[in-house]
Each structure stands twice: as C-alpha cells, then as structure tokens.
Amino acid sequence: MPIKQELLDQLHEKTSEAQLGGGEEKIAKRHAKGLLTARERLLALYTPNTFQEFGLHAQHDSRHFGMERKRLPGDGVVTGVGFVDGRPVVGISQDFTVAGGSLGRVHAQKMCDVMDHAARGGMPLVAFNDSGGARIQEGVNSLSGYGQVFYHNVQLSGLVPQIAVIAGNCAGGASYSPALMDFIIMTRENANMFICGPEVIRAVTGQQCSMEEIGSPQAHMNISGNIHFIAEDDVDAVRIVSELLSYLPSNNMMDPPHDLESELTLSHDPVLNDLLPEDPKHAFDVRKVIRQLSDRQRYLEIQKDFAPNIVIALGRISGVVVGYIANQPMVKAGALDIDAADKAARFIRFCNCFNIPIVTLVDVPGFLPGVQQEQGGIIRHGAKMLFAYGAATVPKVTIIMRKAYGGAYLAMCSRDMGADLVLAWPTAEIAVMGAESAVNILYRKELAEAEDKAGQRARFADEYREKFASPYLSAGQMFVHDVIEPGKTRSTVSLTLRSLLSKREARPPKKHGNIPL
C-alpha cells in the first residue's frame, strides 16, 4: 500500500521548516554580510547529494525558563556525515540564526552523537563554530554540554583528524573545543575567539585592549599561535579544509592518501644545486627547497605567520605524503626559540598520530640566546622537540643543508634522536658551535698575538670548519648516512620513503610518555 500523501506532505513541511533554521529574514541578513548559513557551509564542503543529516528534528527542552515559546530548529546546530573526495567526513555546523548558535543540552548531544559516529567509523571531523556560547537559559545543562563536547574531542584526538573552523563568535570556554582539535582555521572578517573579552579584561584588571588585539585571526596567527590558517571567507575556509583533508588519512589505523601510482623520482634536479647562496652567512628562503622537493611543487604551509623561524608543511614526495619541518634562515637566522619549538613539536606529534613520514630540513645556528628565552622556559619548550622526535615512530628523514650546531642539531632529528636516514649536503657544518664562537675559544691566544686579526680570524674559521665541522667527519662516524649533492636530494628521499613505507617500530607498552608541557 502506498504511503499516505498527507504523511509525506507533513514530512516535507517539517523538513523544510527545520532546514530554514532561524528563518528567511535572519538568513538574508547573513547573506548580506557575505556569510553562508550553517547548512550551506556543510553543503559547500561535501560532494553534492552526499550529506546525510542527523537530528534535523531535534529540539531543546522547552521547560527551561524563558524558552517556553521558543522554537529552535535543530537546536541551533546542523550535524551529519557527507563525502569529500570519495571519503566520509563527519560535520558539525553551528547555526547562528537559531538562538545565536548557543549551546544547550540537545545541541551538545547532537555534537557528541556525531563525534561517536566519527570514532566508530574512523572518519575525520570538521566543525564550524559560530555561537554565542553557553545557552544562558539552560544554565548548568549548557556547561555540562560543553564538558561532554570537550571529553569527546579528547577521545577523538589521535584517532581521527579533527579540524575546526571559527566562522563567527567563539567566546569563553567554548574556544576549548577547537583548541583540543588538530587544526584551527579562522575566517578573516567575521570571526573572533577569546576567553575573556575586552570588557571583562578592563573590569577585572583595568587593562585597555581591543578585540583586534586579543581575539582576531591576526592576533591568533601572529601572536598567540592558537590557529593554523586564516581564510578569506567561508568558501575559502572550506577550500582549506578540503586541501588539508587531501593529505590526511581518515583515521590512525590507515595510511595517509599516498599517491603510489605516481612515478618514483630518480632523476637529478639541478635546481636544488642552485638554491643556497654562496656566502654561508647569507639567508635563503627554505620554502624554495620544500617547493622543489614536493611533487608538482605543491605543498601546504601551516601556521605561516607564527614562529616563522621554523616552517611546517604537508606535501608529497614521489607520491608519499610527508610532513616537513624546516629551519627558516630568513627569520632569526633559523634559530630555535620557544614558539618555534612548540610549533614544531605539536606538528611532529600530529604526523606521528596519523602515520605521516617526517622530512626535516636543517640549517640551525642553535637555540636563540636571551634572558626572555631562558626565563620563558626554552629548556622546557625545546625539550618538547626532542621528546616529539624521539617518540615518533613514523619514517624520519633528515637533511642537513648548512648549519647544525649544538643541542639544536639534536633537536632537529639527528640520527641519535631516531632518524632513519640522515643526509648532508657538502655545505653542511655539524659541530658543537658555530665557527665564530669556536674560534674565540680555541684560538684565543693566537688571535691576541695576531697582527691582522680579521684575516687571521677568517683563516681560523676555515680551519675550524674543516677540522671540526666537516660533514665528512660526521659521515665518517656514521652520524650521517651519506653526503650528497643537493640535486640528488629528491631522488634519495623518494627511495628512502618508498622503502620505509611499511616501517614498524615496536616500543614497550605504557600508558603514554610524559612530554614536557
């Protein structure tokens, strides 16, 4: 017997009504501001007709004070699963047109339900945040809801990739859900994120500040380091999410989407031979090396404007997805400081969680000297890099391009820190310290007596480089597996990555190590 038409009409009516969220007027207001609605954001992410929504008809508990006559379609959040490039991805998108996207009990339950779904199915999670925060009328139920969301974020961490988009307001404790995820993208014009806003800061501390200074995408990218990408708008944010996903496995049990059909590069690349400046003291842009090593010269740089003295990026070498960690000689001479160590350590751990081999490019004069660095805990922060590299069991390839001095040589994944392969270019200098400092210590007496001090200093520096810092010394002791011309780097790394694809490294079972935090 065919289903009754009136039941179908009722279904269509209820569905369209719920899909309208806060209504046409509120939607028009968003469009006028150049914003997409919550549902449009998800639809922009997914392949057409693949989005399966969960909880469209969910409703808040109307017994709460002040909510008796409120209709909150979907309880202010759109959740479900859809396909991106043929793979299922779980999505959450807060609907600002419904009670300001505020989070109540049912809203949180919808989020947690799809997060459980992501865990069970081994699917990445993408969450668009756009919310007035805890729903005031629901009191402690809202706080409990946040607690459950945070708990689920933690359970998903290391299991499936989690990507947050801050596409509107993200105030107070609400910002801890994105902070618990792997990557945060913020849209340039409409988004803000903070724990205490300017008014609270002024009332409690007397300090004057603007939202621009504490909660804007620029503040989080350049100063706090809380976010990873700034998107121009909602559509650009979706583009970044898709690009990011294209490098990531769906879960920790899978390999990342290597393109092993692509040709194994064995040819010499003369461009790599020309990238270093003649004078070892001159800076160069390490991103040129990353670009030249990457397939089709394409890579995705992460946290571009935070701690730019280290560059982190995702790319492919002969089809194998890799995470790059590279000193950037153009900023602070590539020295490691607190922010650089934090940035690199977290990325190393991300790569290790999701089976992404790590390629480390070294040109590091050392840890950055300074009172601020010492008092700020450079020991604790620098230790994070040592810990992260030492604990990572993914394939690790290190290329020493120029300087590799002191503790920073170790912190950039030397052989002793577990690198599977260490290559050095003939320009490499591997030593306890740089030539200038070493000459002052080793040749102090001779320098004091020398007539042409500058000339003598330069001659001593050359002697030091040859005697104590030559890459052949390290290669002679097997700290470096081979000294190669730069033009052979891509082919050598390609072969290594392919041969290490099924690397397995067993460690004794334990709950987890105790990374310095």
Q: Find the Cα–Cα–Cα–Cα dihedral 390, 394, 395, 396, rounded to 10°.
A: -30
Tell me: does residue 30 bind ligand HXC (CB under 6 A): no
Asked if 469 is an active-site residue, the reply is no
Return the residue matching tokens 């597996």.
Answer: 481
Which of 122, 139, 158, 172 is labelled catalytic? Answer: 172
Tell me: does residue 74 bind ligand HXC (CB under 6 A): no
Residues between 435 and 464 that touch ligand HXC (CB under 6 A): none
Which of 94/327 has CB closer to ligand HXC? 94
Region binding ligand HXC by CB under 6 A among candidate stretches 49-57, 95-103, 159-167, 213-221: 95-103
Rounded Cα gap, residues 499 and 517, in angstroms:
34
| DSSP symbol at 291 | H
Which of 174/313 has CB closer to ligand HXC? 174
Asked if 172 is an active-site residue, the reply is yes
Region binding ligand HXC by CB under 6 A among candidate stretches 43-51, 156-164, 165-173, 301-309: 165-173
Question: Which alpha helices (DSSP H) does 216-319 contain, by range?
Answer: 217-218, 234-245, 270-273, 286-293
Tell me: does residue 174 bind ligand HXC (CB under 6 A): yes
Rounded Cα gap, residues 462 and 456, in angstroms:
10
Question: x/- binding map, residues 113-152, to ligand HXC, per CB under 6 A?
Answer: -------------------xxxxx------x--x------
State the nearest-atom distance from the C-beta of 41 to ligand HXC, in Å: 17
Tell me: does residue 172 bind ligand HXC (CB under 6 A): yes
State the nearest-atom distance from the C-beta of 132 to ligand HXC, in Å: 2
Which of 102/352 has CB closer to ligand HXC? 102
Which of 122/172 has CB closer to ligand HXC? 172
Instruction: For residue 153, give every residue at least 6 positions away whose Cβ sits within 8 Å of its Cβ, in sequence order, or none.
Output: 115, 162, 177, 180, 181
Rounded Cα gap, residues 222 and 215, in angstroms:
12
State the nearest-atom distance from the C-beta of 130 to ligand HXC, in Å: 9
Tell me: does residue 170 bind ligand HXC (CB under 6 A): no
Which of 407, 418, 450, 461 is labelled catalytic? Answer: 407
Selection from 139, 136, 112, 7 nearest residue 54 by Cα:
112
Q: String of b and e for 65-98 (b: at least 16 CB within 10 Å)?
A: eebeeeebbbbbbbbbbbbbeebbbbbbbbbbbb
Q: Residues 72, 99, 248, 362: which binds ligand HXC (CB under 6 A)?
A: 99
Which of 171/421 has CB closer to ligand HXC? 171
Which of 32/441 has CB closer to ligand HXC? 32
How many of the chain's residues bind ligand HXC (CB under 6 A)?
15
Asked if 23 is an active-site residue, the reply is no
Which of 177/494 has CB closer to ligand HXC? 177
**Are 184 and 228 spatial neighbours (Cβ–Cβ below 8 Å)?**
yes
Instruction: Compute CA 34 distance to the chain's CA centroid, rounded to the nearest angstrom.
Output: 27
Strand partners, 312: 302, 325
Tell me: does residue 318 bind ligand HXC (CB under 6 A): no
Q: Tokens for 101?
A: 């996207």
Which of 34, 121, 147, 173 is labelled catalytic? Answer: 173
Q: Residues 90, 92, 112, 171: which binds ligand HXC (CB under 6 A)?
A: 171
Rounded Cα gap, residues 313 and 287, in angstroms:
9
Strand partners, 483: 424
Asked if 173 is an active-site residue, the reply is yes
Q: Tokens for 207?
A: 């300090």
State the nearest-atom distance from the C-beta of 96 to ligand HXC, in Å: 7
Q: String of b and e for 429-453 (b: at least 16 CB within 10 Å)?
A: bbbebbbebbbeebbeeeeeeeeee
Binding stretches for ligand HXC (CB under 6 A): 99-100, 102, 132-136, 143, 146, 169, 171-174
**Which residues form the catalytic set?**
172-173, 407-408
